[in-house]
A = this chain, B = another copy of it.
Amino acid sequence: MQTFAKKRLEIVIEHPARKGLATILDAQKVTGYSVLPVIAGSGKYGPWDEAGQVTSAEGMVMFICIVDPTHIDRVIEAVYPFIQLRKAIMTVSDVQVVRGERF
């Protein structure tokens, strides 16, 4: 089956910044994104766990966004200043999709 090369943007970011990141992605006219829960992790400030929180203010979520390679630079540049200030990690990888025109 014919496939098309796309980019997969993966961003782990703190919960309260969720709305802000979504707004930025929407403004970049990405065709969509999915948000997954993150229940624990570790970073500069040591480990954290959902169980040790009364509020999701400290929790994190993961955004996954499939983007056309021609747009990826623009999207990254739009997202970067926002996540730079925050607890967040962003990675980009290569993926293949079947419905190329969809993204």
Contact = CB atoms under 8 A, between A and B. Distances in A.
B34 A37 contact: no
A94 B92 contact: no
Interface of A: 1, 3, 6, 8, 10, 12, 18, 22, 25-26, 31-44, 47, 60-62, 64, 66, 73, 76-77, 80, 84, 89-99, 102
Q: How many copies does the complex hold?
A: 3
A45 to B, nearest CB: 9
A94 B76 CA distance: 18
B41 A34 contact: yes
B36 A39 contact: yes
Contacts of A18: 40
